Amino acid sequence: MHLTLWATHEQQPHALDCQTQFLQRGVETTLQIVDKINPKFLRQHPELALVLDHKGLHLAAAGMQMQPDWIGQLARLKRASHKNELIARACQTEQQPTIIDATAGLGHDGLLLAWLGARVTLIERHPVLFALLQDAHLAASQHAELADTMQRIQLVHGEARDYLTQCQQSGSRVDVVYLDPMFPKGGHKDQKKQALVKKEMQILHQLLPDNGTMDLGEYLLPLAQHIAGRVIVKRPRHAPTLTAAIPQHQWLGDACRFDGYFQSRL
């Protein structure tokens, strides 16, 4: 994979570090130092690229920018409770569970679970998304209101299939495995809602193109069932279940739902 890395002059030393880390993870970058990165600049350079400025590391495409921005989630986090968030009810956050979020993405779901008291291991295999997560974790660790929560989050760069298999082989158990694999772009029943897909998802879909071979992650469910008494799968509200297995419980939201699979022997 090859991407341009746009950086401002002040960020040049950090940009060189980033380049080395990306290379170690198989991503080649061409560093371009520029005076200013603003909306006009981004519109003039619409191709998918990395951006490093005073706000940290971003992905940019089609004039839009995207980063996990965990600090920007604070308003939502402060409104969240064990009761009013379906994901919290599904994952039983009031019990301060240990959770593997095997498909971290931007880490927003994992962040919410950790904020509500869970110990969360976030697994992300894409090297660019993983770098964005590391940057978000570092920035949030230095924020007074998020520092505690960051201590409950561990980041793992890798393939969840391998991680879950290793857990199974070594007899490791967690309370919950949470899965939110990619869903094909045209797969929503409601085309109007599809048109409103958030800019984050539009950029994510450019990074993880749906070229007919998208990994839908169905193999993760049976693996997860070996290591957690509770597996929660996030799906678009009207999407089919991840596999033929029937969930024992569903929590229904406006746009998405959470399917619960419980293993009483664990």
**Could you give the 3-state DSSP secondary structure of residue 147?**
helix
User: Contact between 215 and ligand SAM (CB under 6 A)?
Assistant: yes
Residue 152 to residues 15, 108, 149: CA-CA distances in angstroms? 28, 14, 5
Contact flags string 20-49 toward ligand SAM, x per CB under 6 A:
------------------------------
Contact flags string 84-123 toward ligand SAM, x per CB under 6 A:
-------------------x-xxxxx-------------x
- Residue among 185, 164, 183 nearest 227 (CA): 164
Q: Provide the residue type at 159 as one letter.
A: E
User: Contact between 124 and ligand SAM (CB under 6 A)?
Assistant: yes
Our CA angle for 241, 246, 251, nearest 5°, is: 70
Nearer residue to ligand SAM within complex by CB, 7 or 88: 88
Which two structure tokens, joined as six digits, stand for 81? 């409770």
Closest approach of ligand SAM to the CB of residue 200, in Å: 8
Q: Which residue is nearest to ligand SAM (CB)?
A: 105
Of 85, 135, 180, 259, the one binding ligand SAM (CB under 6 A) is: 180
Annotated binding site for S-adenosyl-L-methionine: 124-125, 180
Nearer residue to ligand SAM within complex by CB, 145 or 215: 215
Closest approach of ligand SAM to the CB of residue 217, in Å: 5
Closest approach of ligand SAM to the CB of residue 128, in Å: 9
Residues in the chain, total: 266
Annotated binding site: 124-125, 180
What is the C-alpha separation between 81 and 255, in angstroms, rounded? 19
What is the C-alpha separation between 157 and 108, in angstroms, rounded? 16
Q: Between 127-141 and 12-24, two packed helices, what is the crossing angle to 10 degrees? A: 130
User: Contact between 129 and ligand SAM (CB under 6 A)?
Assistant: yes
User: Contact between 230 and ligand SAM (CB under 6 A)?
Assistant: no
Nearer residue to ligand SAM within complex by CB, 6 or 70: 70
**Residue pair 22/131 in contact by the 8 Å Cβ criterion:** yes
* β 249-252/228-236 pair status: unpaired
* β 249-252/256-262 pair status: antiparallel
User: Contact between 210 and ligand SAM (CB under 6 A)?
Assistant: no
Q: Residues interacting with ligand SAM, by CB under 6 A?
A: 103, 105-109, 123-126, 129, 159-161, 180-182, 208, 215, 217
